[in-house]
Every structure is written in C-alpha cells, then in structure tokens.
A and B are shown apart, each in its own frame.
Chain A
Amino acid sequence: GNSVTQMEGPVTLSEEAFLTINCTYTATGYPSLFWYVQYPGEGLQLLLKATKADDKGSNKGFEATYRKETTSFHLEKGSVQVSDSAVYFCALTPYSGNTPLVFGKGTRLSVIA
C-alpha cells in the first residue's frame, strides 16, 4: 500500500535556524510527492511538489528533493522565520492519475524570536 512517515513533532527552533523535517514514503509505482502547510486557523496549502526522481521542489525558501533510492522527500529551509510556524504535511499520490493524496501525520513547527 501507499503510506508516508514523517518525523514526530513538535519542532521548536530559533529564528534563522536551519530546518529539516524528514519524510519517507512507501508506494507502488512512481508517486508524486508534496509538502503541504497548514497555518493556524487556515486550510491546507500546497508548499512544493516533485513529480519524478531527482526533481527538486522549492517555494518560499523551502526545498525538498525526490530521492527514489532512499524513498525520501525531506523538507529543508536555511533560515526559518517566526511566520513559518505551522504544521507541515508530507503527502504522495500514486502515478495512476486522478488519485487522492495520502498524508503523513504532520509535523508542528514553532519558531521563536
């Protein structure tokens, strides 16, 4: 089956610290991989995505590289800000078209000034 495993939170960092949130996946075929962010009181928003091996998704200073050999899609940011405090979800959809997202449990990030 298809599943996503994320590192447990919460993660607390000081402003300008380096962020890594680990994500590994199990999937049949060649999935597309996503990171979604959920800010307090808001809905899920797509942060970045990658659709094939070695692709790098990037947005708002966040990056993640699709690593097929390690079945991973770790989220990184070089210098976090207080405004990055949110819950981050890793997700996949199998390469079978028009299929729903399968989410990890989410990782809560708190950035303190």
Chain B
Amino acid sequence: EAGVAQSPRYKIIEKRQSVAFWCNPISGHATLYWYQQILGQGPKLLIQFQNNGVVDDSQLPKDRFSAERLKGVDSTLKIQPAKLEDSAVYLCASSLGTWAGTEYGGYTFGSGTRLTVV
C-alpha cells in the first residue's frame, strides 16, 4: 500500500513569511495527525483529525498555525507568520482510527517536511 505522502520535503523561509504543508494519508485511514519535531526532541502533537473534524488541537499555537482536512482526506498545515522557533520537521501520520488500528500499530508516518526559518 502507498505510504503517507507529504510535500514539500524541504522549505526555507524568512521570519514573518507564511508557509503551507500538505499531507495525503493512507487510503481509508480516518485519523490524521500533525506533529512538530524540533531538532533533538521527540515529535509533539499539534492537531488530530477524525475524518474532517478536529479531535484535539490543544497544543496548536492558534495565533499563527492553522490546519484543515477538507473532505476527510488530504490535509494542509499553515503557519502565518512564521517565527524562528518554528524551525522543525513537520510530520504527518495517519491511522485507521479505531482501537483495533491502534492496537496493531496502525500509525504510519510520512517522511516529513523540514522547515527552516531564517
């Protein structure tokens, strides 16, 4: 089966500019996650979608970050305006969205987008 697709792979922007990342999950996966991985740290959840609804966005800096998942498939994550501390790898993951999916290690991660803010 095809994996989780993310683009772009790399992005360099100046602070205060805007940027958008795209994620296409595995077909049939109802749950989609965006994680932020700062260099030297573990991934931190930004937002979780179930189909096209938001389940958890408690750690999303909503003054500058936004995300949507139209039609319950693809998702975009946007940062506007970017700050230096937003430099990180942004990971998208998907899962079947059921406990069974979780129990059988059903999370699949994309390769990520490496963002550098200068």
Contact = CB atoms under 8 A, between A and B. Distances in A.
Interface in A1-57: 4, 32, 34, 36, 42-46, 49, 51
Interface residues of A, number: 24
Contacts of B109: 36, 43-45
B97 A106 contact: no
B42 A89 contact: yes
A49 B45 contact: no
Interface string A45-74: 110010100000000000000000000000
Contact of A34 (B4, B33, B105): B105
Contacts of A89: 42-43
B41 A32 contact: no
A77 B99 CA distance: 29
A98 B42 contact: no
Contacts of A104: 42
Contacts of A34: 105
Contact of B105 (A43, A46, A99, A105): A46
Contacts of B97: 98
A46 B105 CA distance: 7
A22 to B, nearest CB: 15
Interface of B: 4, 31, 33, 40-45, 48, 50, 55-56, 91, 93, 95, 97-99, 101-103, 105, 107, 109-112
Interface of A: 4, 32, 34, 36, 42-46, 49, 51, 89, 91, 93, 97-106
30 contacts: A4-B42, A32-B102, A32-B103, A43-B4, A43-B109, A43-B112, A44-B43, A44-B91, A44-B93, A45-B109, A46-B105, A49-B105, A51-B103, A89-B42, A93-B102, A97-B98, A97-B99, A98-B98, A99-B102, A100-B33, A100-B45, A100-B48, A101-B43, A101-B45, A101-B93, A102-B45, A103-B42, A104-B42, A105-B40, A106-B40
Given A46-B107, A51-B103, A102-B45, 10 more contacts: A4-B42, A34-B105, A36-B109, A43-B4, A44-B91, A93-B102, A98-B31, A98-B95, A103-B42, A103-B43
